Chain A
Amino acid sequence: EIVLTQSPATLSLSPGERATLSCRASQSVSSYLAWYQQKPGQAPRLLIYDASNRATGIPARFSGSGSGTDFTLTISSLEPEDFAVYYCQQRSNWPPLYTFGQGTKLEIK
């Protein structure tokens, strides 16, 4: 089973600052990694898929990078609505198993 480890657990920043979130896989997932944003009381929302592609309607300030085992989600200039919990996710080929990282909480400093 592939384990995804996110860091840091909590990131405290101010609006306008740049956020860098990390996700590390226990073995290579190629570029098959996604990022989700979850706000309190809401379902997760797909932000980035295949490591670097923005999902429909996602602002350009969100970008993803990486391949293999190390991935990064970058928010170039934080807006107030960006403070949330972020999860990375991958799916192993066989058996098909979808796994999530434990999440990074992005909070207002």
Chain B
Amino acid sequence: QVQLQESGPGLVKPSETLSLTCTVSGGSISSYYWSWIRQPAGKGLEWIGRIYTSGSTNYNPSLKSRVTMSVDTSKNQFSLKLSSVTAADTAVYYCARVGATTPYLDYWGQGTLVTVSS
């Protein structure tokens, strides 16, 4: 059973960079797309972007200028960096796997709350 676990600081100061890592267990990270999604408290889901295990990325245009994703296949991990954060970036951040042959998110991490505050 594939499992995903997000990790990283729960508190980030305004204007700084949010950094999160997702560790994949129970299966290989290879040959899949991996995504980040966020959800502000009481609101809906927003897709941040995806990365393939080759390192190829696609980002949500609304966040593209501030987002960087990377992958480390040797550690079965992928990462998110979001720069110049503001309070509007406060949310639960989820990592998820995109299905091998379908554009859907079939495995999700439990989510991690990141608060942007001084």
Contact = CB atoms under 8 A, between A and B. Distances in A.
Interface of A: 32, 34, 36, 42-46, 49-50, 55, 87, 89-91, 95-103
A46 B106 contact: yes
A55 B106 contact: yes
Interface of B: 35, 37, 44-47, 50, 58, 60-61, 94, 96, 99, 102-106, 108-111
Contacts of B102: 49-50
Nearest to A55: B106
DSSP majority for the A interface?
Answer: strand
Given A34-B104, A43-B108, A91-B103, A100 B94 contact: no
Given A49-B102, A96-B50, 6 more contacts: A34-B105, A43-B110, A89-B104, A91-B103, A96-B103, A98-B37
Contact of A103 (B35, B44, B103): B44
B45 A44 contact: yes
A98 B47 contact: yes
B44 A87 contact: yes
Contacts of B58: 95-97
